Amino acid sequence: MVDFKNLMTPLQRAYYERVDVEIARLFNLPTRFLARALMRHARNARARHPDFLALNPREGNKTISTLVWDIIPEISYRMGERSEIPGERQRHIRAMTDAQFRIHAGYVIMSCANIILNDEKRIRDPNDVDPIEVLTHDVANGNPVAFALDRVVPAHSFNKEDVLSRYTQEVSENRGFQPPYLMWEPDMQNYRHLQGGLAFGL
């Protein structure tokens, strides 16, 4: 099995290990504190990339803007967080039922996963993790927006319209877990028992 971390420079490896530490920290937070932490990450990401993540971006990616302006604030609100600023949580998002919101949010989260900002020359500092890289982390390897959504609206059974759960199920099955997971758990990372294949995409 190829571990792509072995292809990184020591600095890159240290950076992404720090991202993994933050993912684990968020997963273990109580719901109320997870909601607050997600809002802090979303607002810090918007402040750090004001053009790319503008409310109505002329440049950048509208889907990621939707993630940090609508999806994360709505998830956090449904988890009990009440600190809002103007522009967050559009009216049509607020009006969705839990079931509708899970489907919609799942598409946005999956569309944002691992989007690379146009800053290839940037040196990644392990002591300065970019919040957008935490929020767009691959769902199969732990995405805090996705597992927060799981707390708000759990996936109890297979639903072909639920792209988030469907992807998690497919990946966990490829990693050898039976029955497959419907929602991400840290145990999904324990798949080193596989003897063939690539770590990326499993």
Check whether 127 has a pLDDT greater than 60. Answer: yes
Contact 158, 182 (CB under 8 A): yes
Whether 197 maps to a domain, the answer reads no
Task: Report the number of distinct structural domains present in the chain.
Answer: 1
- Cα dihedral 134, 92, 33, 22 in deg (nearest 10): 0
Q: Is pLDDT of 134 > 60?
A: yes
- Residue 169 falls within a domain, yes or no? no
What integer best gives the mean pLDDT of the chain? 87
Domain that holds residue 121: 11-161
Mean pLDDT of 44-56: 87
Q: What is the mean pLDDT of residues 146-159?
A: 93
For the stretch 60-92, pLDDT in tens is 678 899 999 999 999 999 999 999 899 999 999
Q: Does some domain include residue 189?
A: no
